[in-house]
């Protein structure tokens, strides 16, 4: 069965510091991976996706992620975070219409 | 344009009420989804419509009744809900290229439902 694991429930970081949010997946079939961000009291916004092709994927708001098949990982990175990046981040994998979500990582950016 | 709209934004209802949540998209997508999200949890899939036909029902109680009147609209009819049904209800849509060719799901802002 397909599953997605986000290893950190909360990541505190100071403003302008780099950040990495970790995501690992398990799948025996083709892998389609996504990162979504959810700001308080809002829906989910797509940050970036990996369907095929280049393993380094660039998204909105300066985020990027690298698909690593050997480590079954799809970690999200940003070189310099802003206060406005404080939100919940969900990694997800697609399996026959179903998005399999990780448990989420709360990014808390402090001044 | 990647907008999915949902109305109302907030809804408070009693356990004997009947209400409906509405979702609309104009991206030409042919797959539409309902998710339920409890606080501090990821969204949980409830229903999937593909070309206006129900294709997935994740064993959701019958007090939730989905409806897809056309390719742009998706409704969720609510009746005799319980307080534990209080949650954020999210709608999403995607192009439908079949179950073996997934595509990006775009989410609406959600309806915050409180059942008293």
pLDDT tens figures, B54-88: 888 888 999 999 999 998 999 999 999 999 999 99
pLDDT tens figures, B15-62: 888 999 999 999 999 999 999 999 989 999 999 998 888 888 888 999
CB contact under 8 A, A43 and B90: yes
State both tokens at B67.
């409806």
Q: Does B56 touch chain A (CB under 8 A)?
A: yes
Collect all residues of chain B within an 8 Å Cβ-Cβ radius of residue A102.
42
Beta bridge mates, A35: A48, A91
Residue A30 has what pLDDT? 65
Collect all residues of chain B within an 8 Å Cβ-Cβ radius of residue A95.
102
Collect all residues of chain A within an 8 Å Cβ-Cβ radius of residue B105.
94, 99
Q: Which of A83, A79, A75, A80 is closest to A105 using CA atoms? A: A75
State both tokens at B26.
């104009």
Average pLDDT over residues B98-112: 85
CB contact under 8 A, B43 and A44: yes
| Contact (CB, 8 A) for A53 and A67 | no
CB contact under 8 A, A95 and B100: no
d(CA A33, CA A73): 10
At residue B66, what are phi and psi to the nearest 5 degrees?
Answer: -85, 160
Residue A73 has what pLDDT? 93
Residue A28 has what pLDDT? 64
Q: What is the pLDDT along chain A (111 residues), one digit of tens a residue?
A: 778 999 999 999 999 999 999 999 986 666 789 999 999 888 999 999 998 888 999 999 999 999 998 999 999 999 999 999 999 999 999 877 788 899 999 999 999
Which of B31, B43, B104 is nearest residue A46 as measured by Cβ atoms? B104
Residue B68 has what pLDDT? 94
| Contact (CB, 8 A) for B31 and A97 | yes
d(CA A75, CA A67): 7
């Amino acid at each position: 069965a397909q599953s997605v694991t986000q290893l950190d429930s909360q990541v505190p970081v100071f403003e302008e510091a780099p950040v990495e949010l970790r995501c690992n997946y398990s799948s025996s079939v083709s892998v389609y991976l996504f990162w979504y961000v959810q700001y308080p009291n809002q829906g989910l916004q797509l940050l970036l996706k990996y369907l095929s092709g280049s393993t380094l994927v660039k998204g909105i708001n300066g985020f990027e992620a690298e698909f690593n098949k050997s480590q079954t990982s799809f970690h999200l990175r940003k070189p310099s975070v802003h206060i406005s990046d404080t939100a919940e981040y969900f990694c997800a994998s697609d399996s026959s219409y179903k998005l399999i979500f990780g448990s989420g990582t709360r990014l808390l950016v402090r001044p | 344009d990647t907008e999915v709209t949902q109305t109302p934004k907030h809804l408070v209802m009693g356990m004997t009420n009947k209400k409906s949540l509405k979702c609309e998209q104009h991206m030409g997508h042919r797959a539409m989804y309902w998710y339920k999200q409890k606080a501090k949890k990821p969204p949980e899939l409830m229903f999937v419509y593909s070309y206006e036909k129900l294709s997935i029902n994740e064993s959701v109680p019958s007090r939730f009744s989905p409806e897809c009147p056309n390719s742009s609209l998706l409704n969720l009819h609510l009746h005799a809900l319980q307080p534990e049904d209080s949650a954020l209800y999210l709608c999403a849509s995607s192009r439908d290229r079949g179950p073996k060719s997934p595509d990006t799901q775009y989410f609406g802002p959600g309806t915050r439902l409180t059942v008293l």
